[in-house]
């Protein structure tokens, strides 16, 4: 499966931006439209852009000046200059600043698309692959912050407590931590504490000797013994009963444990990784979890962001899991840019676990070709459980003008509705709303002011 490439179009001619964007989306690209250099620089800081089309003459700077500012940033982004002021001197200057190509307006859309495809192929051949070790994909700023902290403590034996909603990938991250540590060649043992009955928890963790209790017909090693010299991952640590919490604290402090039915201690050279989706501090305040054990476990404490907080990772996660599903089911299923954008916009209450479930269901039902936006409706649901509507369904009534309303008035009403919807979907964040609408933040602010003035005029 090929990566979904993101193309940023930087041009103050908004109609041209829309035309180019429409064509590129048909070709399977994701697009972002901006209309000045400053907005382009801000978006590049927080998003992964594969190709940037830059107009030579922008409102706040020239394309050459933008290239110069981009040159100082660490990025594998391909840059292509578009200009109506074509001459050899400008072309040479742009290439010196790092531009991959230089096209003169007017340019045929087919030529432009072919140039972008060629640039993407060259870029993919030279660019390092994103980190996907143990199903970990890192592109968003929030996940980069998590990985940055982990890399500082990776080679230590410090206990790490992973917090976060169910399905955010705590188990996968625990495996990644082990694989990156100096214990990577030793066992990684995982135990879901919520799945073990309270009466069996101690024997599961520390093992037992033959005859220790009725039914103990043979001596059995516990999880700590199995994990010797390696790492143990205690998932849902908040579910451990108080009596076992005391024994776990002893193992952490003394580095030794005793099997059920035994009278001698065994050493435990184990790094402890733990996780919970509960508010563990509240459990401590409620006396449901030992405070001393909590402090032993959270030498390093990290909150794993939910999928809706790391939307920049979603296209890469989609690509990663589709690749794995293709290998599993011996298919070659891809996904369209529109479908990927819909997946990115979805809130994912079940986080990565839900995303993987939806992708596998879509993959199984798709015999061949690409997953399209229309394929998603019955698989993604709103909070009310209703089917996710197509954009045409969402805005159908909005675009019908009143009987005495002119076309311009109707278009302004549609524009206002789209702006309000974008703001609602991004929690009022104007920068994100502008990106979703394919306009600059300055343009959005201008349109909001214009709407406000229009409303005032209507109320007079």
Residue 324 sits in the same domain as residue 429 = no
Residue 16 sits in the same domain as residue 108 = yes
Residue 176 sits in the same domain as residue 229 = yes
Residue 239 sits in the same domain as residue 101 = no
Q: How many domains does the chain have?
A: 4
Hunting for tokens 């992973």 — which residue is that? 162
Q: Whole-prediction pTM value?
A: 0.59
**Residue range of the domain that includes 104:** 1-128
Residue 122 sits in the same domain as residue 4 = yes
Residue 247 sits in the same domain as residue 146 = yes
Q: Pick the last residue of a domain from 66, 94, 128.
A: 128
CATH classification of the domain holding 71: 3.40.50.2300
Q: Pick the last residue of a domain from 305, 331, 365.
A: 305
Residue 293 sits in the same domain as residue 153 = yes
Hunting for tokens 């879509």 — which residue is that? 362
**SS3 letters across the chain:** CCCCCEEEEECCCHHHHHHHHHHHHHCCCEEEEECCHHHHHHHHHHCCCCEEEEECECCCCEHHHHHHHHHCCCCCCEEEEEECCCCHHHHHHHHHCCCCEEEECCCCHHHHHHHHHHHHHHHHHHCCCCCCHHHCCCCCHHHHHHHHHHHHHCCCCCCEEEECCCCCCHHHHHHHHHHHCCCCCCCEEEEEHHHCCHHHHHHHHHEECCCCCCCCCCCEECHHHHCCCCEEEEECHHHCCHHHHHHHHHHHHHCEECCECCCCCEECCCEEEEEECCCHHHHHHCCCCCHHHHHHHCCEEEECCCHHHCHHHHHHHHHHHHHHHHHHHCCCCEECHHHHHHHHHCCCCCHHHHHHHHHHHHHHHCCCCEECHHHCCCCCECCCCCECCCHHHHCCCCCCCCCCCCHHHHHHHHHHHHHHHHHHHCCCCHHHHHHHHCCCHHHHHHHHHHHHHHHHHHHC
Residue 414 sits in the same domain as residue 439 = yes
CATH classification of the domain holding 350: 1.10.8.60
CATH classification of the domain holding 436: 1.10.10
Q: List the chain pLDDT tens, one digit each, 460 residues.
A: 345 678 899 998 888 888 898 888 888 888 899 999 898 888 888 777 888 999 888 899 888 888 888 876 656 788 888 877 656 666 677 777 778 788 887 788 888 888 888 877 765 555 444 444 456 778 888 888 998 898 888 888 999 999 999 999 999 999 999 988 889 889 999 999 999 998 899 999 999 999 988 888 899 999 999 999 999 999 999 999 999 999 999 999 999 999 999 999 999 899 999 999 999 999 999 999 999 999 999 999 999 999 999 998 999 899 889 988 998 888 889 999 888 888 998 999 999 999 999 999 999 988 888 999 888 877 776 544 444 444 434 443 344 445 555 666 667 777 777 887 777 777 677 887 887 887 887 788 878 877 766 644 443 3
**Strand partners of residue 80:** 53, 101
Residues 6+ apart with CB under 8 A from 244: 198, 201, 202, 205
CATH classification of the domain holding 285: 3.40.50.300
Position 117 scores a pLDDT of 83
Residue 294 sits in the same domain as residue 160 = yes
Position 199 scores a pLDDT of 86
Hunting for tokens 């005793």 — which residue is that? 258
Residue 262 sits in the same domain as residue 355 = no
Position 391 scores a pLDDT of 42
Position 3 scores a pLDDT of 55
Residue 148 sits in the same domain as residue 116 = no
Q: Pick the last residue of a domain from 334, 353, 387.
A: 387
Residue 10 sits in the same domain as residue 55 = yes
């Amino acid at each position: 499966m090929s990566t979904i490439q993101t193309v940023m179009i930087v041009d103050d001619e908004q109609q041209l931006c829309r035309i180019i964007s429409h064509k590129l989306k048909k070709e399977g690209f994701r697009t972002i439209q901006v209309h000045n250099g400053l907005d382009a620089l801000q978006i590049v800081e927080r998003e992964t852009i594969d190709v940037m089309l830059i107009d030579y003459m922008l409102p706040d700077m020239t394309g050459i000046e933008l290239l110069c500012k981009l040159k100082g940033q660490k990025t594998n982004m391909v840059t292509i200059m578009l200009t109506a002021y074509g001459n050899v001197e400008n072309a040479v200057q742009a290439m010196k600043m790092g531009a991959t190509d230089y096209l003169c307006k007017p340019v045929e859309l087919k030529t432009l698309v072919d140039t972008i495809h060629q640039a993407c192929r060259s870029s993919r051949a030279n660019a390092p692959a994103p980190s996907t070790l143990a199903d970990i994909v890192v592109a968003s700023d929030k996940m980069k912050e998590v990985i940055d902290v982990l890399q500082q403590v990776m080679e230590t034996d410090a206990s790490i407590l992973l917090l976060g909603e169910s399905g955010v990938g705590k188990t996968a991250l625990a495996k990644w931590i082990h694989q990156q540590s100096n214990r990577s060649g030793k066992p990684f043992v995982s135990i879901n504490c919520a799945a073990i009955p309270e009466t069996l928890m101690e024997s599961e963790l520390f093992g037992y000797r033959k005859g220790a209790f009725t039914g103990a017909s043979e001596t059995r090693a516990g999880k700590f013994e199995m994990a010797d010299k390696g790492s143990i991952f205690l998932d849902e640590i908040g579910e451990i009963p108080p009596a076992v919490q005391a024994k776990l604290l002893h193992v952490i402090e003394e580095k030794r444990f005793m099997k059920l039915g035994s009278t001698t201690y065994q050493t435990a050279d184990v790094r402890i990784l733990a996780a919970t989706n509960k508010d563990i501090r509240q459990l401590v305040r409620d006396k449901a979890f030992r405070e001393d054990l909590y402090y032993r476990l959270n030498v390093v404490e990290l909150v794993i962001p939910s999928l809706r907080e790391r939307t920049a990772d979603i296209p890469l996660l989609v690509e990663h899991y589709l690749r794995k599903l293709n290998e599993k089911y011996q298919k070659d299923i891809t996904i369209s840019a529109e479908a990927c954008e819909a997946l990115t916009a979805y809130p994912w209450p079940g986080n990565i676990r839900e995303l993987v479930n939806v992708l596998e269901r879509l993959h199984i039902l798709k015999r061949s070709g690409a997953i399209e936006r229309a394929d998603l409706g019955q698989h993604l649901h709103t909070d009310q459980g209703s089917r996710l509507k197509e954009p045409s369904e969402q805005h159908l009534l909005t675009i019908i003008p009143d009987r005495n309303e002119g076309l311009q008035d109707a278009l302004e009403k549609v524009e206002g509705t789209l702006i309000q919807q974008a703001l609602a979907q991004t929690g009022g964040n104007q920068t994100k709303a502008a990106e979703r609408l394919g306009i600059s933040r300055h343009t959005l602010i201008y349109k909001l002011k214009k709407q406000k003035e229009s409303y005032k005029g209507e109320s007079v």
